[in-house]
Amino acid sequence: MTEKAQQVYPLAPANGAPRSDEDGLAMEKEAKRKKRVKLAIYIGVFAVFQVIVILVFGMVIMRVHRPKFRVGNLTVQNLAAGTGSFNGSFVAPVRVKNANFGPYKYEATTVFFSYGRDVVGRADVTKSKANFKSTKKIDLEVAVSSSNLTASDPAAVSKLSGELGSGTLTLRIYGNMTGKVELMLIFKKRKSTFMDCTMVINVSAKSVKSLECK
């Protein structure tokens, strides 16, 4: 250091210029330091911004929601009720609501209609998909009949007689659905969902009195 100083000073003019050179150097250093601080702040802000973008992306876009598999109030096309027996046909509006940022591709499945434990009708849902943040609407036609129940479940038959006598018919509508949510065209996540609804039908009015889903 001293050796260097000795080498430099003899070359410097004697009019005090070295002092101002030193000042200039210090100012330049200070300016450089400020520049570095500024750059560090920019990088820091950018990094924070990136983290926020990644978090939002991860929490909103990449989050996989369970699609909703539901049935709405069905339309009764025909319904004939006798003493402890019934026959009918319905159009059941089944909905697959997909809240994901990508399509939900589901497998074929079956929706069951039952009176108590006894299946009285069934309808198939074909393999398809519910698009990006939308609801797939499927109107299922189903024929229901108490004919199977009559033979297999005497307790249910007597319960059915009582219920039909008071003018209502309570059916459970249920089914499972399996499929995959596809995100960013490449990420696939298996997601299954189910429907389990209880519907009370007013037999004489041929209309839905109440509908509740789990």
Ligand X SMILES: *[C@@H]1O[C@H](CO)[C@@H](O)[C@H](O)[C@H]1NC(C)=O
Site for ligand X in 189-208 (CB under 6 A): 194, 202, 204-205, 208
With a CB cutoff of 8 Å and minimum separation 6, the contacts of 164 are 81, 82, 83, 84, 86, 203
Cβ contact 108:125 at 8 Å: yes
187-202 and 134-145: which strand pairing? Answer: unpaired
Residue 134 or 192 with smaller CB distance to ligand X: 192
> If DSSP codes are grouped into helix, strand and coil, which group holds residue 19?
helix
Single-letter amino acid, residue 62: M
Which segment (25-33, 54-62, 77-85, 180-188) binds ligand X by CB under 6 A?
77-85
Query: What gap in Å lies between CA 163 and CA 160, rounded to an integer?
Result: 5
Question: Exactly one of 94, 121, 169, 197 binds ligand X (CB under 6 A); which one?
Answer: 121
Contact stretch for ligand X (CB under 6 A) within 27-35, 54-62, 167-175, 181-189:
167-175
Cβ at position 158, least distance to ligand X in Å: 16
* Beta carbons of 126 and 93 less than 8 angstroms apart: no
Q: Which stretch binds ligand X (CB under 6 A): 31-39, 57-65, 115-123, 153-161?
A: 115-123
Tell me which residues touch ligand X (CB under 6 A).
Answer: 72-73, 80-82, 85-87, 112, 119-122, 145, 147-148, 167-168, 174-176, 194, 202, 204-205, 208-211
